[in-house]
Copies of this chain bind each other. A is one copy, B any other.
Amino acid sequence: MKFSCTKDELLTSINIVQKAVSTKSTLPVLEGILIQTQKDALKLVATDLDLYIETYMGASIQREGSVVLKSRIFSEIVRMLPEGNVTIEVDQQNVAVIRSAGSEITLIGFDSQDFPVIPKVEEKNPIELPQDLVSNVIRQVTFAVSKDETKPILQGVLMEVTGNEVNFVALDGYRMALRTCTLDKTYEEKSVVIPGKNLNEIGKILTQDDAKVSITMADNHVLFDLGYTRIISRLLEGEFINYKQFIVDDHTTRFKVNCKNMLDSVLRASLVAMDGKYYIARLSIIDDKLIITSNSEMGKAYEELPISKEGNDLDIAFNFRYLLDVLRAVDCEEIYMDCTTNVSPAIITPVDNNSFLYLLLPVRTTSN
């Protein structure tokens, strides 16, 4: 195999596929990137057998072929190459010579025959969404997946198409994140559960603009097609929990608050509690004020914020981490927080639209 391309394009492609490279595998070939000539282009592929990423790039192909090169060192070498063109030549023994002005680096590669086969996923009735939107959705939902390895299905995000909407849902028994996007038309009802860690990697590859991504939900895999890049993730098997049962709207207290101000106040209050035994934010909803307090051996915090309230006053407490996760995830100016009692879940929604819903279980405190 022999080809030439620019250093920058090669590095961009490596950075994309590298996100699927296995970091702890007993199969050394999985630590590598498969490089394959494809007519007048180059295909790069990486996988950890759970997530598969392939990307195409322009290159001048002088001799066809393929090789697998160790991802870590190959990417570092390419990053350090001088700007401009690089030529890579691979012999029958999978020895690659990387040449650019004044520099000649020889790397011992693996036989591409040993590289796993990528699952075939036929692009069929894909839903289409802007990449920046999907990237945001992933950030806003995946933090809520369960870390509990005894409930593998909850380590995934439910992706559920109903009519002209798609819902993304994650929950871990303490909180739930639900994000809804409107589709361009009505699609067949279908749902899959995608491993949260794979979605996180996919989120890093999506662009921050409105270029489209086509998502195909197949039987055992989901395919994210970005055009030059195709990402395939294994699905989690089993039935996702019926999350709708948790969304009960019987609130007796509702308040509206500026999201950024509440985040800042909760952050400050969390600092005092950080080293303490408990990591608990106490919220007092009194008239038109939200008072957030916390304490530990180090000291205590008192934060006061203006709110618009409907319904009863209420004292309720949350784990700081869960509250902060939600306040950091929401991208809107104002939110509603709906509560019933200090032992029933609170529901957080945007004031402007119904694009998300967070559900947060309070913690019981000694003063409850």
A residues at B contact (CB < 8 Å): 70, 73, 76-77, 80-82, 95-96, 102-108, 264-265, 267-269, 271-272, 274-275, 297-305
| Copies of this protein in the complex | 2
A73 to B272: give the CA distance in the assembly, Å: 7
A299 to B70: give the CA distance in the assembly, Å: 11
What is the minimal beta-carbon distance from A74 to any residue of chain B, in angstroms? 9
Q: In the complex, what residues of B have CB within 8 A of residue A106's CB? A: 272, 299-302
Which one of B80, B104, B268, B274 contacts A271 once the chains associate, using CB atoms below 8 Å? B80
A73 to B270: give the CA distance in the assembly, Å: 11
Task: State whether B104 touches A301 (Cβ < 8 A).
Answer: yes
What is the minimal beta-carbon distance from A269 to any residue of chain B, in angstroms? 8
A257 to B274: give the CA distance in the assembly, Å: 54
21 A-B residue pairings within 8 Å (CB atoms): A70-B298, A73-B275, A73-B299, A76-B271, A77-B271, A80-B268, A95-B299, A102-B265, A102-B304, A102-B305, A103-B268, A103-B302, A104-B302, A105-B269, A105-B300, A106-B299, A106-B302, A107-B272, A107-B298, A108-B298, A108-B299
A77 to B273: give the CA distance in the assembly, Å: 12
Q: Name which residue of chain B comes closest to A261, CB basis.
A: B102
A305 to B101: give the CA distance in the assembly, Å: 10
What is the minimal beta-carbon distance from A52 to any residue of chain B, in angstroms? 25
Given A107-B272, A108-B299, 17 additional A-B pairs, CB 8 A: A77-B272, A82-B264, A96-B299, A102-B305, A103-B268, A103-B302, A103-B303, A104-B301, A104-B302, A104-B303, A105-B299, A105-B302, A106-B272, A106-B300, A107-B298, A107-B299, A108-B298
A104 to B299: give the CA distance in the assembly, Å: 11
Q: Name which residue of chain B comes closest to A297, CB basis.
A: B108
What is the minimal beta-carbon distance from A194 to any residue of chain B, in angstroms? 34
Q: Name which residue of chain B comes closest to A304, CB basis.
A: B102
User: Given A102-B303, A102-B304, A103-B303, A268 and B298 touching (CB < 8 A)?
Assistant: no
